[in-house]
Chains A and B, each alone.
Chain A
Amino acid sequence: MISEPGSASPAVGSGGLSRRRRKAQRDGRPLERRRFLLFAAILVLAALPVAVDDFVPWITPPAGLLVLVALVRGPRGRRPPLAFLLALSAAAFAGTFLHYGTINGLRAGGSLLLCLVGLKLLETRHERDLNTVLLLTVFLLATDLFFGQQLTAVAYVAAVFVFLLAAWIGSGTTSVPPHGEKPLAPARSGLRPALGLLAWALPWALVLFVFIPRVHGPLWGWGRRHAWVSGLSPNLQLGGIGRLIVSRRTVMTVRFVRPRPPTDQRYFRVYVFNRFGGKEWQPSRRALEPAPPVAENNDVKGARVAYRVLLRPDGRSALAVLGRPLTVPEGAWLTRAGTLRARRPLRRSFHYSLVALRGPRPAPQLSARARARDLELPPGVDRRARRLARRWRRRNPRPSALVERVLRYFHDEPFYYTLHPPPLHGRNAVDMFLFRTRRGFCTDYATAFAVLMRAAGVPTRVVSGYLGGRYDPLNGRVVFNGADAHAWDEVWIRGAWRRVDPTAAIARSRISLRALSLLTGGYTVGGFDVRESRWLTRVGDFWRRIGAVWNRDVLGYGPRLQRAFLRRLGWRIRGWRSWLPILIGVLVVPPLLLWGLVLLENKRRRGTRGERDWERLLHRLGALFPPAIAPGETALEFAGRIARSHPTLGRRFLTLARRRGRVLYEPGSGPVELRRYRKTLRVLRARLARISLSPPEATPTRRRPEP
């Protein structure tokens, strides 16, 4: 009999009873605590990446608290009142809207989902609720991938998914273990079938991934910077790169055609700034105008460097470039300031090869306008610095001597390099840095230097980009991570923009370049700080290499790579028509094959004649009418035994056992007999499913047997 928890009241009107029974039937059995905790744990695991990545101080912790309360309460007790749940939902929507200004989009949706997780767990009571929990888990797992597509993130999602699948399958099959064995934990018993399912699904998924036409960029990636490597910002603030420098994620890898420039020569320019607002640098519009590459200017003397860059996407279009490019790679253009831009914001890893000239950038004449712009300082601020600059200028009329003087100033005075400088506030931020705090990092030194030079009348601009990198001997690439972000200056001297790195100047006295990279802790592997350990370095290199392959070949697998790959297979894509055979091949043929396999399998199964269902029935009967069927007991004997204690059910089972015997042992029995057997089996199983094993004593049939 189906039992409703806490339904002790004996006299309920028949209408009420049937309504109650209907509701109970709809809701399914009450959920066991262990099952609840298992699936709740998987749900929490699935929600974790979203919660961590999309942390909003006044949404995420309350949602976590809800989850905690739900876990402690378990699936028992009264459901929270509807009004309470509604109020919480409204609060979740309101909070999300207040924070994001929308309830739409990835991040707002993520926050809402987290709240939903807490609310759903709070009201989970029955088996039926589990469906929603499972659905939510799967949805969250898919959402996780929007927040991070790195190898670790994908591995995590895959692991949780396997766990979910195993628990799902396992809990569906082991409700009654055979022959009184102890039930296995559902997740453990379901692991093999879950992995089996994945083994079936993965090849096809791979085929679909490779052959379905790729779109440019992820489907739902617009306005999302989070998942990408945070790169340099298109403007530069005092104290602005600090956060980036602390980040140790790989930003790009570069393979140089020999010779490889030494570490302190690898200045990859990304942005050039020449408008200063007192605290912030901006590029001028003119600097961003397109310009032809060097080769067209007949000025191709000087040392060259050739390299290939793999840049991780940061949602912006700025590319890193070393030297003055002689060519412009496909999908990119060159600015007047000599920086490289992609035609579209990067949403996937981007490859480009360059040949460039090294050395100063000739700019024989600066127009009056350009000169004015490169000397411009916000009026009325940083007066002390300007005074100092003018004094130096008088003593060192040659710009190069002036540069020397400023660098010597940084070198001799007690300037310190630190990633955690005291804040620079007020209008005279540069004054404050130069004369009071004297602590800062590259941005601060580059800014201060530029302000001093400009005040002294030497056109100067600030460049941000990456410096140094670490050579990975295993794959011959130089790896740049966030810690290699850097800012320096370019000074216009003798008809050319020459690079000056004030940070390096000061740093040389106290902190070497090498120490600079050590300062940031080298790099990390799985969250552990890795310092001077050789094999750990190797592990790091290996890991980075896998990551690079993942980025290049999996995440970076876009329309371009796909076409190239198809071409290698001998298939040229010309218009949508050439896709048709491929689409048919991957979308129609595999399902047909699968269908054929299923048919074959069914045919094979027909040989064993639904043994599984039969075995389950036997187990269930054994649980209902112990002892379970013994190995040597035939179905007829078992049926006879049940019929003795429970005539109605026993007779039905006897009929089933006879039909089964005929199908199994009488070679002449036809398909009619098989159909009959299957039908009886189905009917009886359905009947048994309605009988519950209520704790003290099983009450298997509606009519108790006469004593």
Chain B
Amino acid sequence: MSAEPTPASRRSTANLVRLFRGLLDEAEGIFYGQRTVVTLALTGVLADGHLLLEDHPGTGKTLLASTLAHLLGLGFRRVQFTSDLLPADILGSQVYDSTEGTFRFVPGPVFTPFLLADEINRAPPRTQSALLEVMDERQVSVDGVTHPLPRPFVVVATQNPGDQTGTYPLPESQLDRFLLRLELGYPDVEREKDLWGGEDPRERLLRTPPCTDAETLTAAQATVRAMTVSEALLDYVARLVARTRSAPSLTPGLSPRAGRALVAAARAHAFLNGRGAPWPDDVKAVFVAVAAHRLGRAGVASTAAELTALLETTTAR
């Protein structure tokens, strides 16, 4: 990065792409070399969406979130969801200011560009709903007063899979709010050995300077949003969506909103690959992450497998 960064709004698309690809490289170095996952996570952020990370404890969910937040140069807050967490605890509340004798709004942790909602399924549904509403509307209304959230605004929620006691699984309607659902998986053995024996990734993260800032991210998101999509690609997306709707185990299939999310994610993915518009390759890359949690009635894992098979049999050219 140059010492005096040019204003983000005036950066060319190619510059932006270079910048975010550099960010990916950095993130890959920190996050066990899991480029695919990191790419998808960044794709979600660039598409102005929220991420749901789902995997077993210790697979690096929090690390991924903090890596992204740090490298993007965004303010980062983390909220540990527990069963006694109340909506006000994350949104903020009116507090009586005794010195001035008035009520003053004290913003909750949600007023941050990058929010990590850890173990979101441990909070009661009421709290979950509050967060999910905010994710959608990007504003907080307390006692009739609306407080807009800062832009960009990214929520990364994590949850542990499996039947665990004391959890409140998110209903499908709310899962829909997450653009992408990612499973982190394990890194390959060599990388894992590096991880065990080498430097703590968190320390490495602290040493690494941020690659971008909020303004640049907003500009990149605007570029992604402005990307035109070809008819040929929309045809492909339509074929995919139609297939999910006709497959008996996936009924009722992807909703129109999900289709829109798919195209949005494909746009961001294309942006990261330096393309002027999404290609089927981009759609394929994000498809399972976009669709699995929205259709995962029969278990997300089996749904993902089915979606992969569906990708292989849907004409992509």
- By a beta-carbon cutoff of 8 Å, the part of chain A in contact with chain B is 630-637, 661-662, 664-669
Contact for B281 among A630, A631, A636, A668, CB less than 8 A: A636
Residues of B within 8 A of A636 (CB): 279, 281
CB distance from B301 to the nearest CB of A (A): 20
Is B233's CB under 8 angstroms from A665's CB? Answer: yes
Is B314's CB under 8 angstroms from A632's CB? Answer: yes
Closest residue on chain B to residue A611 by CB atoms: B317
> B232-244 toward A: CB 8 Å interface, digit per residue (1/0)?
1100000000000
Is A631's CB under 8 angstroms from B314's CB? Answer: yes
**Chain B interface size range:** 20 to 34
B230 CB-CB contact with A under 8 Å? yes
Question: How far does the alpha carbon of A532 sit from the alpha carbon of B280 in the complex, in Å?
Answer: 74
Question: How far does the alpha carbon of A630 sit from the alpha carbon of B308 in the complex, in Å?
Answer: 14
Question: How far does the alpha carbon of A78 sit from the alpha carbon of B85 in the complex, in Å?
Answer: 92
CB distance from A643 to the nearest CB of B (A): 15
> B278-317 toward A: CB 8 Å interface, digit per residue (1/0)?
1111001000000000000000000000000001111111
Is A667's CB under 8 angstroms from B313's CB? Answer: no
Residues of A within 8 A of B281 (CB): 634, 636-637, 661
Closest residue on chain A to residue B282 by CB atoms: A665
Is B230's CB under 8 angstroms from A632's CB? Answer: no
CB distance from A657 to the nearest CB of B (A): 10
Is B316's CB under 8 angstroms from A667's CB? Answer: no
CB distance from B276 to the nearest CB of A (A): 4
| With known contacts A665-B230, A667-B230, A632–B312 Cβ distance under 8 A | yes
Residues of B within 8 A of A669 (CB): 276
Closest residue on chain A to residue B230 by CB atoms: A665
Residues of B within 8 A of A668 (CB): 228, 276-277
Is B316's CB under 8 angstroms from A632's CB? Answer: yes
B275 CB-CB contact with A under 8 Å? yes
**SS class, residues of chain A in contact with chain B:** loop
Contact for B312 among A630, A661, A666, CB less than 8 A: A630
Closest 9 CB pairs of A and B: A632-B312, A666-B276, A666-B277, A665-B230, A634-B316, A665-B279, A631-B315, A667-B228, A634-B280
Residues of A within 8 A of B311 (CB): 632
Residues of B within 8 A of A635 (CB): 317
Residues of A within 8 A of B275 (CB): 661-662, 665-666
Query: What are 25 A-B pairs with beta-carbon distances under 8 A?
Result: A631-B315, A631-B316, A632-B284, A632-B312, A632-B316, A633-B312, A634-B279, A634-B280, A634-B284, A634-B316, A635-B317, A636-B279, A661-B275, A661-B279, A662-B275, A664-B232, A665-B232, A665-B277, A665-B278, A665-B279, A665-B280, A666-B277, A667-B230, A667-B277, A669-B276
Closest residue on chain B to residue A609 by CB atoms: B232
Interface centre among A630, A631, A637 (most CB of B within 10 A): A631
Residues of B within 8 A of A661 (CB): 275, 279, 281
Is B230's CB under 8 angstroms from A666's CB? Answer: yes
Beta-carbon contacts under 8 Å, B261-282 to A: 275-281
Is B316's CB under 8 angstroms from A633's CB? Answer: yes
CB distance from B249 to the nearest CB of A (A): 18
Closest residue on chain A to residue B273 by CB atoms: A636
Is A631's CB under 8 angstroms from B284's CB? Answer: no
Question: How far does the alpha carbon of A645 sit from the alpha carbon of B265 in the complex, in Å?
Answer: 31
> B87-120 toward A: CB 8 Å interface, digit per residue (1/0)?
0000000000000000000000000000000000
Question: How far does the alpha carbon of A630 sit from the alpha carbon of B284 in the complex, in Å?
Answer: 14
Question: How far does the alpha carbon of A180 sit from the alpha carbon of B303 in the complex, in Å?
Answer: 30
Question: How far does the alpha carbon of A636 sit from the alpha carbon of B311 in the complex, in Å?
Answer: 15
Closest residue on chain A to residue B312 by CB atoms: A632
Question: How far does the alpha carbon of A634 sit from the alpha carbon of B283 in the complex, in Å?
Answer: 11
Residues of A within 8 A of B313 (CB): 631-632
Question: How far does the alpha carbon of A636 sit from the alpha carbon of B270 in the complex, in Å?
Answer: 13
CB distance from B252 to the nearest CB of A (A): 23
CB distance from A614 to the nearest CB of B (A): 9
Residues of B within 8 A of A631 (CB): 312-316
CB distance from A706 to the nearest CB of B (A): 23
CB distance from A681 to the nearest CB of B (A): 14
CB distance from A674 to the nearest CB of B (A): 14
Closest residue on chain B to residue A631 by CB atoms: B315
Closest residue on chain A to residue B308 by CB atoms: A632
Beta-carbon contacts under 8 Å, B118-164 to A: none
> B211-236 toward A: CB 8 Å interface, digit per residue (1/0)?
00000000000000000111011000
Residues of B within 8 A of A667 (CB): 228-230, 277
* Other contacts beyond A633-B312, A634-B279, A665-B279: 8, CB < 8 A: A632-B284, A632-B315, A633-B316, A636-B281, A665-B230, A665-B275, A665-B277, A669-B276
CB distance from A677 to the nearest CB of B (A): 14
CB distance from B279 to the nearest CB of A (A): 5
Closest residue on chain A to residue B314 by CB atoms: A632
CB distance from B269 to the nearest CB of A (A): 13
Interface centre among A630, A662, A667 (most CB of B within 10 A): A667
Residues of B within 8 A of A634 (CB): 279-281, 284, 316-317
Question: How far does the alpha carbon of A661 sit from the alpha carbon of B280 in the complex, in Å?
Answer: 9
CB distance from B90 to the nearest CB of A (A): 41
Question: How far does the alpha carbon of A633 sit from the alpha carbon of B280 in the complex, in Å?
Answer: 9
